[in-house]
Structure 1
Amino acid sequence: MEKKIGAYICTGCGIGDALDVAALAKVATGEYKVPVCREHGFLCSEEGRALIQADVEQEGVNSLVIAACSPRVMVDAFDFGPDKVVERVNLREQVVWSHPAEDEDTQMMAEDYLRMGITKAKEMEPPVPYQGENLSKRILVVGGGLTGLTAAKEAAAAGYEVVLVEKSDELGGYTRNVAKLPPLTPPYEEPTAFDLEGLVGEVTGSDKITVYTGSQIEKISGAPCMFDVSIQQNGSQAAERVGAIVLATGAVPYDASKLEHLGFGKHPDVITADQLEGMFKAGEVKRPSNGQPVNGVAFILCAGSRDPEHLPYCSAACCVESLKQAKYFKDANPEMPVYIFYKDLRAHGTYEFLYKQLQKDGVFFVRGTVTGVDDDGSGALAISAEDVLTRAPILSESVDLVVLATGMVSTASLGKPYKAQEPKEGEEEVEVPADTILASNLLNLEYRQGPEIPALKYGFPDSHFICFPYESRRTGIYPAGTVRAPMDYSRAMDDAAGAALKAIQCVEMTGQGKAVHPRAGDLSYPEFFMQRCTQCKRCTEECPFGAINEDEKANPLPNPTRCRRCGVCMGACPERIISFKNYSVGMIGNMIKNIEVPEEDEEKPRILVLACENDAYPALDMVGIRRAQYNPWVRVIPVRCLGSMNLVWIADALSSGIDGILLLGCKHGDDYQCHFVKGSELANIRMSKIKETLDRLVLESERVRFEQLSITDYGKLPEILDDFASDLEDLGPNPYKDF
């Protein structure tokens, strides 16, 4: 489109008091020949917006550079329609609130930020939303247990059509074997009767829900709003097109045959909690060894859980299930001795009331690590344990039945490891951190990156466990219930509703051509200039979300509705053929080149900071909000993700005379916080290649530094920036300065 740029400088919030606004305006009108440049004391007010709107309507301004507060605030106030380019210049939080007023360096910083903003506005184009064909807003729910039934019911209640696929012949899953649920209503002291048949009836009786039982997903191809699902049902096949998927295949109990040290398999009267639940469901609770009534019982919690030799994690629901089953026994016979051996008892929330009631009922709670389960010589069982606090030995009275509260294992972690395409002869293997992809016959995705969603820590799938629950690394696919994380029945039902809402959000926003998460509402998507593609496969290998398939010649096949707009593919591409209309390698490169670098004798070094927009950039805003100050040599450019960083930006910056480059990314590792999962980690890997660039430019590797931080680390930022500036002073000026 033909551009007409308008620059608008706000003088409120202390900006006009700290800066020479006339000199700032001269940068726009003099250096960049911006035809419309205005100042206002309160740009986000009705009057300020009206000023801008008048220029849009009367002057034909279609590209707006708004120099005011952070782009993270007042988003709606500065929205002038999808056909207008809007670039925000952060003068408030990252200039006048974090640097001295009426200072030469502060003024130079503001002018550089305006230069970069105008440069970007000149190159940006309004994004045109991607619109696929034959879009569907139906929701596929895989799994017909408690979570799947609840998700299907909630989505249908919201007015959406649902396709429910269950592998067994009956709906209900694990809950078909459950006598009662833990307490769900006040006073939270008694197990709750659960009307499973009523829930099943609601689902099967709904005209919005199509149910396939005795069925399995044969394959799923496509992308959000365009998923084509092939369903195998008793030898026949059915095809459905859906918009989003809720994965609710649940979990299975940990294999108790591995717990021989607790007597399982050795003594017939040592059983698991799910076996006991089945006995209560059937109304026949007897000793397996002789069929006699149970006159004493002991529960062993964390049987295989929180154990590095078995399941290293807490399975969340085991303690409460054991409390519930202990209540069964006490209700049937208040005089029966009931023991609960535990490491820590986790009866969270309202389950505390059940725990207290059992104390009143006379249940013996023993905090000890079980060391053995042995025959007492009379056919009964005795439990030996070590007291957690005193390390003293404990020996229980004889009991007829020992119940192991085994943990839960996500069905997403069951299957054989899958390896994406091996490099062909002569191809260089791309160095990318490995995810665990299993062929487990849950979804059977036809994705270049593997047939299932990645099973991550402990085999549970997630995208970003801190900020984005329900989301997997496959856009439009939302795990819910115990397939996603260990949880109890109540939380699983809440989880199902949450995943159904996320699936609805996905189909609605995808239908409008918008990104779902975390750049919710983003209309841009990556475009590929295929004429220069070398089929190196870096984009397909490094995309954290499986958004790019390949054809038989290794040409990338992008799926825009799978894309989360992180730009990792853009940063990975050595040929720089991937770009967005409002974010590209050349665009950021030109912003860097428009930073004014003082001559060497002025002794004013320049530091380029590429800051992740998810944690690092808002942390810099927090520094300003708290009026902390940092080195004025810094020039910050927000990036969608540090994984979108292309190495050419490093070369551009250093060859322009910039003295140092600081990369601020999210934390990665076991407790990762990267909103795009792998972006920060990939940037760190690329750092190893930056040394080659520096060697080629005959520069010190210390001029480029990578720092990990979360938004809560804002207090450390001034020190990080000042320390880096001090190190650069010791190194001396960039020898490319003045060239």
Structure 2
Amino acid sequence: MAKKQGFFLCTGCGIGEALDAAALTKVAAKEYKVPTCKEHSYLCSAEGVELIKAAVEEKDMDGIIIAGCSNRVNADVFKFPGVLVDRVNLREQCIWVHEADDEDTQMLAEDQIRMSCEKIKAGVAPEPFVGENLSKTVLVVGGGLAGMTAALEAAKAGYPAVLVEKEAALGGWLNSVYKTTPMASPFTTPEDPNLAGRIAEIEANANIKVYTGAVIEKIAGGPGMFDAEINQGGSVVAERVGAIVLATGSKPNIAKLDYLGYGKYANVITHVDFEAMAKAGNIGAKKVAFIQCAGSRDAERLAYCSAACCIETLKQTIILKELAPEAQAYVFYKDIRSSGQYEHFYKAGQDTGAVFIKGDIKEIKEVGGKLAIESEDILLGGNALVEDIDLVVLANGMIPSNKATEAIVAAAGEGDAAAEAAATQEAAESILKLQYRQGPELPNLKYGFPDSHFICFPYETRRTGIYAAGSVRAPMDMAKAVGDATGAALKAIQCVEATAGGAAVHPRSGDLSYPEFALQRCTQCKRCTEECPFGAINEDAKGNPLPNPTRCRRCGTCMGACPERIISFKNYSVAMVGNMVKAVEVPEEDEEKPRILILACENDAMPALDMAGINRLKYNSWVRIVPVRCLGSLNLVWIADSMSKGFDGVLLLGCKHGDDYQCHFMKGSEIAEIRLSKVSETLDRLGLESERVRMMQINIMDYAELPGILDKFAEDLEEFGPNPMKGF
């Protein structure tokens, strides 16, 4: 615990006018015997920071409380190395949402001070975990456009890169294309792939080591200390790397295209086949129909848009005119998706004289050796019939090649989620061969794309230090893949640098804490290994947890999962939060001042509460807020502590989960909801209304709804009456 503590109260931003500052200081000085307590009108000023710094140095403090604004403000200003710092939010979550100079507001502020004192008393400044023989090399798996770009960008930044490609030569899809879609202004003309130049640049860079005709044999370890074994032609080479970029691209989806004549008529081909014809200079067709969304954006086949199909077709209409000037193109489409600068490319495709017809295909049939297409014509009304077609080109979608197979598409078409998950995780090609207890490959989202948090953390996967780039991460065009690969390389660099300093990566970037295990009390229940969203915990032969600190993202899900409470962080523990809950002064029943405990996720709920404050939205002053790293860190003993303390209700505020999840730790909110169901059963058995403990999913943009949510909960609690355990 922090032994030499200090308390610093900012009276600026209206805090001094709205609250009795002397009474707040008295809580720290008298109740908690904090030896050094100071007030200042502007703590975040140079003078205020110097006041804190001087006191810390003079008293050799190891833990300080700064009471003022939100910890989301001036985070860099209040950093004191080696000192545990806790910020008490008296501004956004107290005086800006409650009445000034009011008894209830004062009581809230004093409780906030008490909780912070308990937190500082129970914690110490974390010491970083720094592994041995750390590497800053970036391993890139996949040597296509995205993979080559990622390796080059990492090398240009001064970081060694190892590039592994399973084929005999680099290039991936670039080996098959005649020309690429434009990747730079003016975005009107297809470009030469310049594959030879790209490969030459890689070969000329001494920072890049290339393995072609090679596959990953296995990968063990974690960020900074991944041990990769690479099999090249039967010879296995070991490489220690710090981070990994997965850039294995995508495969064309050719499943269930028979409804468009694919496999039935010889002159119905895919856009991949057209590229081969163009590369060979062998386009003899005079009348060519291009069909968009072939099997894509279709709930029975491939539900999503593959993002690149439209501009690939636009490219091919331009190529058709180049190689066969007399040819006529027809483009059947649902929507033309050529966003951003590619609007210029759309115009270039129109300028070829191609005829664009919007609507679903009704029928494709063969007549006299040629094809006829009947389609809706939404823009002109009625139907369109185009006959005497020499060639039909299907713009079929893409499925990720990391673990994707046609089985995924087939299962999705049948609407069988279980079969789809099984196909994604088991029936597909194994690439990374991770030596993780949780499995050899990356956990994937729906349709097989690996992801961590698609809103806030692109490139992230659910395996720390492994970043996805290009069309293996999400459907995208070539220009997007280049930018994507650059972003993934930068994330990999951030990861190796953070790991070298013992710090976490996003979302708790810079956090130096990590979970510690009191293994002498472990019962080998395996809940920590099973519930960790990041595969940060393996198991030994006896079933004991084997933590991998560099894989950990410090969410605390393992801490919440452990029934024996043997897992803790130096600055975050089950006992610490329990003591914070118990520190709140709960009035007696006859005082008619109920208390509501809010356990709020720091990623969305806490910012939403801050936004409510910034917008001066008033809400019930009965609430007492305890921030948690993630609702996945919820330990059920906190609910028991709050009920026995006399809280009338507990509200868990966490991120949204499900298919469109926004939980920054992926499964934390979902896991908390499962745990909460067990609490409800217990409360019912004890004769307490289970509705006294609730969970709400919320994101930062829901801040305007928060006052209504909190006030409604307070109204419901009034109907239930006081907690019968109050006063015991």
Is the TM-score greater than 0.5? yes
Distance in 1 of aligned mates of 2:351 and 2:210: 46
SS at match of 1:575: coil
Per-residue deviation, 1:337: 1.5
Per-residue deviation, 1:417: 10
Is this contact kept in 2: 1:219–1:230, CA < 8 A? yes
2:185 alignment partner AA: P
The 5 Å alignment of 1:436-515 reads 437-438=425-426, 440-515=429-504
Per-residue deviation, 1:80: 1.4
Is this contact kept in 1: 2:187–2:344, CA < 8 A? yes
Distance in 1 of aligned mates of 2:170 and 2:692: 61
Per-residue deviation, 1:695: 3.6
Is this contact kept in 2: 1:248–1:483, CA < 8 A? yes
1:381 alignment partner AA: L
Q: For residues 565-605 of structure 1, what are the alpha-carbon distances to aligned partners after superposition, in whole Å with 9 as ceiling and x for unaligned?
A: 00000001100000000000000000000000001110000
Distance in 2 of aligned mates of 1:203 and 1:60: 53
Per-residue deviation, 1:387: 2.8
The 3 A distance-change label for structure 1 pair 390 and 335 is closer
TM (norm. structure 2) is 0.96
SS at match of 1:447: coil
Number of the residue aligned with 1:289? none
Match of 2:260 among 259, 262, 269: 262
SS at match of 1:413: coil
Is this contact kept in 1: 2:183–2:478, CA < 8 A? no
SS at match of 2:66: strand
Please say if 1:295 is aligned against 2:286: yes
Number of the residue aligned with 2:111? 112
Per-residue deviation, 1:353: 1.3
The 5 Å alignment of 1:653-664 reads 653-664=642-653
Per-residue deviation, 1:552: 2.1
The 3 A distance-change label for structure 1 pair 689 and 2 is closer
2:636 alignment partner AA: L
Number of the residue aligned with 1:392? 382
Match of 2:397 among 388, 393, 407: 407
SS at match of 2:443: coil
Is this contact kept in 2: 1:89–1:117, CA < 8 A? yes
The 3 A distance-change label for structure 1 pair 171 and 434 is closer
Match of 2:564 among 575, 579, 582: 575
Distance in 1 of aligned mates of 2:693 and 2:654: 13
The 5 Å alignment of 1:533-548 reads 533-548=522-537
The 3 A distance-change label for structure 1 pair 417 and 568 is farther
Match of 1:601 among 590, 596, 602: 590
Distance in 2 of aligned mates of 1:440 and 1:595: 55
Per-residue deviation, 1:390: 7.5
Number of the residue aligned with 1:288? none
Number of the residue aligned with 2:355? 364
Please say if 1:34 is aligned against 2:23: no
Per-residue deviation, 1:412: 2.1
Please say if 1:58 is aligned against 2:58: yes
The 5 Å alignment of 1:139-218 reads 139-218=138-217
Per-residue deviation, 1:327: 0.5
Per-residue deviation, 1:483: 0.4
Is this contact kept in 2: 1:162–1:210, CA < 8 A? yes
1:68 alignment partner AA: G
SS at match of 1:76: coil
Distance in 2 of aligned mates of 1:519 and 1:185: 36
Match of 1:280 among 269, 278, 281: 278
Residues paired across the two proteins, number = 715
Number of the residue aligned with 1:237? 236
Distance in 2 of aligned mates of 1:463 and 1:117: 32
Number of the residue aligned with 1:421? none
Distance in 1 of aligned mates of 2:186 and 2:648: 67
Per-residue deviation, 1:60: 2.7
Gaps of 5+ in 1: 286-292, 419-432
Number of the residue aligned with 2:72? 72
Is this contact kept in 2: 1:435–1:456, CA < 8 A? no
Distance in 2 of aligned mates of 1:7 and 1:370: 72
2:98 alignment partner AA: H
SS at match of 1:308: coil
Per-residue deviation, 1:436: 5.5
Match of 2:693 among 669, 688, 704: 704
Distance in 1 of aligned mates of 2:101 and 2:244: 56
SS at match of 2:438: coil
Please say if 1:137 is aligned against 2:136: yes
Distance in 2 of aligned mates of 1:434 and 1:464: 22
Number of the residue aligned with 1:691? 680
Distance in 2 of aligned mates of 1:2 and 1:726: 40
The 3 A distance-change label for structure 1 pair 434 and 522 is farther
Per-residue deviation, 1:25: 1.1
The 5 Å alignment of 1:603-618 reads 603-618=592-607
Distance in 2 of aligned mates of 1:6 and 1:57: 11
SS at match of 2:6: strand
SS at match of 1:322: helix
Distance in 2 of aligned mates of 1:732 and 1:389: 63
Q: What is the aligned-residue identity percentage?
A: 63
Distance in 1 of aligned mates of 2:290 and 2:387: 13
1:277 alignment partner AA: E
Is this contact kept in 2: 1:340–1:366, CA < 8 A? yes
Distance in 1 of aligned mates of 2:305 and 2:285: 29
